[in-house]
Amino acid sequence: MRLRHAVASATVAALALPQAASAHGLVGRQDLPIPRWLFAWAAATVLVASFVGLATLWPKPRLQELQERVVARLPAILDVGCGVIGVAAFGLTIYAGLAGNQTGTANLAPTVIYVLFWVGIPFASALFGDVFRPFNPWRAIARGVSWLAGRMARQDSLPDALPYPARLGRWPAVIGILIFAWVELVYVDKTDPSQLAIMAIAYAAVQLVGMSLYGIETWESRGDAFAVYFNLFARLSPLDWRGRKLAVRRPLEGVVGLTPVAGTVALLSTMIGTTSFDGFSQGSTWSSIAPHLQSFFLDIGFNAEHALELAMTVGLLAMVLIVAGLYRLGVAGMHTVGEGHTTSELAGRFAHTLVPIALAYVIAHYFSLLVYNGQATAYLASDPLGDGSDLFGTGSATIDYSVISATGIWYVQVGALVLGHVCGLILAHDRAIAMYRSARDATRSQYWMLAVMVSFTSLGLWLLSAANQ
């Protein structure tokens, strides 16, 4: 009976998620000179060597003070223009989702949301800074409404924004990212264009309410899940767009100033954990666990589709908790070094070290999606509704899977994971020598962060390997 249920669930999954199966790029045959597990050993060796190098060659904090240099001033019209483009792109995506062909691959909305927005912007942010902010459509709408209200009403008649509750911190962003990840990885109708459009409208409405209650900038920096998410990656960039100024800084320097408000560690754990689950759910380990979970939910009365979603939800949450637990273990280890630092203080002050790891996981898991599925933009731009139109003459364009080989993708993935974790080590080391009174205690505290980094690297490579089998 259970077997029958499991088979039924698997069939539903296969039928319901055909696009999900290919959503993260094709995985071709890799031609690697050594077994994949040996890459994990090599990565661990690189991390240990980096740790030793940092302990001996980096005796003083170098990143704790921000040293930015303004290199350009930007015209005010640029801000307005970017906002208009952002609102127009948002409107087009919604329109395509609601009015277009309801086949996911033929409609612009799923590709824009899952590829260009969710994956493309983190890549762009890490390279060019917080590029999402000027294009943020709900921020642009809120600013436009605020400007209009200011012109139409007397300034003193407009209510002040409420003080943002400190205990909320980045928790609204945690919830937002978790919900989006659930939709992307678990929800069976994840590629349904009209449902995506409705969810996008609902998200925008929540943001507008948040901005009207707590102020545009405050809500954007704490509660707008995507703005917070992209901003974290942008902090790694050497470019900083501040108001109407463009400043340059050393790479990684921007993330050192991350304020560890409530929910920051949870947000980063969610970012890493959900990406990890994306890889894990494509591997054989999950394939052997999932049917048992599905059977459990079938047995307590759920139908096959919901049993599958619930099983995936359990896996998703478990992976977030595992990532958070690994980090807390490292922090608990650091706590044993002493000097009076509490675990919650250490967890907050070292939270920024997880940002490059989160980016590394995004690159490792979604690089192929961006490279391959991103090309679909060419024909979807010409035919956004999937009704056969050819607005720009690119309607017959196809995806070229030869732009990079499977082996090339593997090296990008491994390189990103190693580099991301080395960056995490650098940030942790720099923070430790700034925090601890003795260099010896600083180094001892970092034994634990090294263990965390090696664990995350091995986990990341294992997930990639499992997904590629």
The residues of the shown chain that bind another protein, judged by CB under 8 A, are 37, 40-41, 43-45, 47-48, 284-285, 288, 333, 336, 440, 444, 447-448, 450-451, 454-455, 458-459, 461-462, 465-466
225/203 Cα distance (integer angstroms): 10
Shortest spacing between CB 37 and another protein, in angstroms: 4
Please name every residue paired with 69 in a beta bridge, in sequence order, or none if there are none.
248
Of 386, 372, 332, which is closest to residue 105 (Cα–Cα)?
Answer: 386
What one-letter code names the amino acid at 175?
I
Shortest spacing between CB 465 and another protein, in angstroms: 7
Which residues are CB-neighbours of 51 under 8 A, at least 6 positions away?
A: 425, 429, 446, 450
Taking the least distance from each CB to another protein, the nearer of 40 and 174 is 40
Taking the least distance from each CB to another protein, the nearer of 10 and 92 is 10
Shortest spacing between CB 455 and another protein, in angstroms: 5
Shortest spacing between CB 460 and another protein, in angstroms: 10
Taking the least distance from each CB to another protein, the nearer of 39 and 297 is 39
What one-letter code names the amino acid at 268?
L
Task: Give DSSP secondary structure letters for 15-31.
Answer: HH-HHHHHTT-------
Shortest spacing between CB 17 and another protein, in angstroms: 23
Taking the least distance from each CB to another protein, the nearer of 101 and 343 is 343
Residue 262 Ramachandran class (φ > 0 left, ψ -120 to 50 alpha, else beta): beta
228/219 Cα distance (integer angstroms): 9
Taking the least distance from each CB to another protein, the nearer of 3 and 152 is 3
The side-by-side arrangement of strands in the sheet containing 69-73 is 69-73, 245-248, 239-242
Taking the least distance from each CB to another protein, the nearer of 336 and 389 is 336
Of 222, 210, 226, which is closest to residue 171 (Cα–Cα)?
Answer: 222
Taking the least distance from each CB to another protein, the nearer of 136 and 276 is 276
Shortest spacing between CB 370 and another protein, in angstroms: 25
Task: Give DSSP secondary structure letters for 256-289.
Answer: HT----TTHHHHHHHHHHHHHHHHHTTSHHHHHH
Neighbours of 4 (CB within 10 A): 10
Shortest spacing between CB 334 and another protein, in angstroms: 11
- 100 SS3 class: coil
Shortest spacing between CB 56 and another protein, in angstroms: 15
238/63 Cα distance (integer angstroms): 13
Taking the least distance from each CB to another protein, the nearer of 82 and 364 is 364
